[in-house]
Each structure stands twice: as C-alpha cells, then as structure tokens.
Amino acid sequence: GLRVIQIDKQGLIDLSHIVALVQGRAERFILYCDDLSFNTDEPGYQALKAALDGDLVAFSDNLLIYATSNRRHLMPDSMQDNLATRHVGDEVHPAESIEEKVSLSERFGLWISFYPFTQDEYLAVAAHWLAQHGWQHGMTDEVRTVALQWALSRGSRSGRVAGQFARDWCGRHVAK
C-alpha cells in the first residue's frame, strides 16, 4: 500500500530519521511538503538538498518526495544577485552563492508549471465553477464583465481566482 507523510519545512531537518524509519518497509511512501520555500538561513534547506541528491547514505527506494511551491527556485533571488557580478562583503566567489540558491530546485526531477490562463480559458473555468455552485444562467454579459473585473483586481487569471469569483458570485446571487 501507498502511504502519504505530510511534513512542513521545519520538519525537514529530521528527514534522515524519516528515511531510516521507512527504509526496508513493504509499503511505499510519498513525503509531501506543501508550499515549500526557504530563506537562506533555514536548516531544512540543506537537509532536503542532501536527501534529494548528495547524501552519502542511499535514499530509500520506497520513498518519493513531492513538494509544491510558488517559487521556481525555492529561495529568494535578489536583484543584486542578477545584476552584473560584483563583490559584496567578503564573498570571493559570488557566482557560487547564486548557484547554491538554484541547486535545490534542480534536484527535483519533475516540474509541473501552471501558466496564466488566456481570457477565454479563465472564463470557461469560471463558468464551470459557477455551475458547480448552483448558478443556472450561464455566462451572461454581466457575469462575464464581473468575472473579468474580479481577475483584474487580483492580478491573475487562474483556476483559483475563477473558483473564488464563482463562490463569491453564487453567494450573492444564488437563492438559498
């Protein structure tokens, strides 16, 4: 059987202990970490990086790590890092610091990216969620206009925003 273990980023410092506990068991495990991102001084970053690729101990073959993140590189990038290389502070090789920040995300074998919807895609998803929440009048001109204004005010045309719009609209307009 498949088991899921959810862990927050503070728990990643215990990752080697978790691997030891599941290693050799008959079950398969997914270690799931939601909304993962790090600041440069957080200890879980190094533990996860070593576990994914670089630890002396072989990673358990019955364990996969799944993580979601809103950051592509999992650590903040500063403009200073991306401008022409210059020496700041005592750093002799500043490019290595930049590579260190990117190296964790490179250790994940599969990335799934979600790109912004086109206007038509956003409206189709909004129409779907409206119907799911009991709206029976379709995508009228008024609903379309308000849905687009909703997305514009939030700076995004995503499935999440379409769902939030539909819940709000139906909460205001569907008879209870």
Q: What pLDDT, in 10s, does the model give residues 130-146?
A: 999 999 999 999 999 99
pLDDT of residue 89: 61
Number of domains in the chain: 2
Q: CA Rg, the chain, in Å? A: 22
Model-level pTM greater than 0.75?
no
Boundary residue ending a domain (106, 135, 155): 106
Same domain? For 21 and 68 the reply is yes
Amino acid at 85: T
Q: Is residue 12 part of a domain?
A: yes
Whole-number pLDDT of residue 173: 95
Ranked by mean pLDDT, which of 12-16, 34-38, 105-109, 135-139 comes out on top?
A: 135-139
The verdict on 98 and 157 lying in the same domain is no
CB-CB neighbours of 151 under 10 Å: 22
For residue range 18-59, list pLDDT tens digits in order.
Answer: 888 999 899 999 999 888 877 777 777 777 777 776 565 567
104 vs 87, which has greater pLDDT? 104
* Residue 57 belongs to a domain: yes
Spatial distance between the Cα atoms of 149 and 155, rounded to a whole number of angstroms: 10
Same domain, 125 and 153: yes
Q: In what order do the strands lie in the sheet with 28-33?
A: 2-6, 28-33, 63-67
Q: What is the pLDDT of residue 80?
A: 58
CB-based burial label for 115 (10 Å; 0-12, 13-18, 19+): exposed
Residue 162 lies in a domain: yes
Pick the residue with more confidence: 136 or 106? 136
Answer whether residue 111 is part of any domain: no
Kindly state whether residues 34 and 75 are assigned to the same domain.
yes
- Is 114 inside a domain boundary? no
Q: In this predicted structure, what is the pLDDT of residue 153?
A: 97
Residue 112 covered by a domain: no
The whole-angstrom separation of Cα 120 and Cα 125 is 9
Q: Residue 124's pLDDT is what?
A: 98
Asked if residue 99 and residue 29 are part of one domain, the reply reads: yes
Q: Both 71 and 23 in a single domain? A: yes
Taking residues 10-19, what's their average pLDDT? 86
Residue-wise pLDDT tens digits, 54-100:
565 567 889 988 888 776 666 666 555 555 555 556 665 556 555 66
Residues 159 and 83 in one domain: no
* Same structural domain, 16 and 44: yes
Mark whether 27 and 94 lie in a shared domain. Answer: yes
User: Confidence band (pLDDT; 50, 70, 90) for 14?
Assistant: confident
Q: Which residues contact 12 (CB under 8 A, 6 or more apart)?
A: 33, 43, 44, 45, 47, 48
Q: What is the structure's pLDDT at 94?
A: 59
Domain of residue 167: give its range: 119-173
Q: Looking at the domain assignment, is residue 14 inside a domain?
A: yes
